[in-house]
A = this chain, B = another copy of it.
Amino acid sequence: MGVRNVITIKDVAKDAGVSVGTVSKVLNNIYVTVANKEKVEQSIKGLGYQVNTYARGLKAQRTNTVAIIVPDLISPFFALLVNYVEQALSEMNYKLLICNSYCKKEKEIAYINMAKQNKVDGLICVTYSNSDEYLRDDLPIVSIDRHFKPKVCCVASDNYRGGKIAAEKLIETGCKNIVFIRNGSNINGETLKRGKGFIDACEKAGIDYCTKEFGEETTLEKGGETEHKVCCFLEQCMKNGKFLYDGIFTSSDSLGQIIIEKLKKMGLNIPMDVQIIGYDGLRALNVGAYQLSSIKQPVKDMAVTSVNHLMKLINKEPVDELTILPVSFVDGGTTR
């Protein structure tokens, strides 16, 4: 399904029954017959084609620069995403501005405003604040993982299936009581489906489960508030020397790593006492084995797809509103 509000000069030409060149002439106040001028002007009005968006597409006005908004590059998943976005853009002779928001709304909005001021040709964003109102119809945007109220092209991994696979794997390997632990924004986005897939699989299997949320902070820090809260929760789950859950699914590998280290300190054996599955599929320092068992996101594919979609939007071509890319389970030794 195409994004409806991207009306191209081709659409206008087709609707008016004239050539693209004729439409271009009308837009640039170059002489055409009165009849053609009227046809084109009627089509522009009828289709809601925005004349001012046309100017942005002119080659001379392009900056050949794209901006990407991510929370930070400390999270290895975002660093990899930015790496592959830069690689794909570089092949198209585009430059990349990196904008770290640290999940702060004011930083996200400042970067969106910079993009709107035509300092970049387009924007790829991984944002978590309620910044819908700051977007503009005619700014080419690809959003990763999250939905905006004005329809914005979105690319995500198959979060629902990821959650489902994780629960099924834990159940299949003998878990009787499992928990989904997540942190991060509750804003309308694809990542919330991780929990839905998990819950549906648990319900279907008729197994004991629960879910636990930890704050709005997407960025995890060593020694930070979220780590502290998560560790307190894990301690409370220890009753009479026995841990309440035999399986844990986490919303990210980073959160999984924090949990693994805490459980080990509490004297639990992973995966014999508790199995853990993260989300992302990261390798140790990106060169070693998988850091933990996980649902692997196709990060390179997500980056390349986002760039391809953005290029289409910049060129006023239609793109799919939502692209969901496949995930897979990877064994990192924290499952049996």
Q: Interface of A with B (CB < 8 Å)?
A: 65, 72-76, 79-80, 82-83, 86-87, 90, 95-100, 107, 114, 220-222, 227, 253-254, 257-258, 260-261, 282-289, 291
Q: Which residues of B contact A87 (CB under 8 A)?
A: 100
A91–chain B nearest beta-carbon distance, Å? 11
Task: Please tell me which one of the listed residues B86, B220, B258, B287 contacts residue A220 in the complex, with CB atoms under 8 A apart.
Answer: B287
Residues of B within 8 A of A254 (CB): 285-287
Bound complex: CA A85 to CA B228 (Å): 28
Q: A87's closest neighbor in chain B, by CB?
A: B100
Contact A287 B222 (CB under 8 A): yes
A245 vs B75: C-alpha distance in the bound complex, in angstroms? 35
**A113 shortest CB reach to chain B, Å:** 13
Cβ contacts under 8 Å, A99 to chain B: 86, 95
Q: Which of B79, B288, B291 contacts A79 (CB 8 A)?
A: B79
Given contacts A257-B284, A257-B287, A283-B222, contact A98 B82 (CB under 8 A): yes
Are B80 and A74 neighbours in the complex by a CB distance under 8 Å?
A: yes
By beta carbon, the residue of chain B nearest A226 is B287
| Bound CA span A332–B180, Å | 29
Task: Tell me, in angstroms, the Cα distance from A285 to B285 when the chains sit together.
Answer: 7
Known contacts A73-B79, A79-B79, A83-B72; A222 and B288 CB within 8 A of each other: yes
Q: Which residues of B contact A100 (CB under 8 A)?
A: 83, 86-87, 90
Contact between chains at A83 and B90 (CB < 8 Å): no
**Residues of B contacting A74 in the complex (Cβ-Cβ under 8 angstroms):** 79-80, 83, 286
Complex Cα gap A30–B285 (Å):
59
CB distance from A265 to the nearest CB of B (A): 10
**Cα separation A107 to B95 with both chains bound (whole Å):** 13
How far in angstroms is the closest Cβ of chain B from A119? 8
Q: Which residues of B contact A282 (CB under 8 A)?
A: 285
A-B contacts, 22 of them at CB < 8 A, read: A73-B73, A73-B86, A74-B83, A75-B286, A76-B285, A76-B286, A79-B79, A83-B100, A86-B98, A86-B99, A90-B100, A95-B114, A96-B97, A96-B98, A97-B97, A222-B286, A222-B287, A222-B288, A254-B285, A258-B287, A258-B288, A261-B288
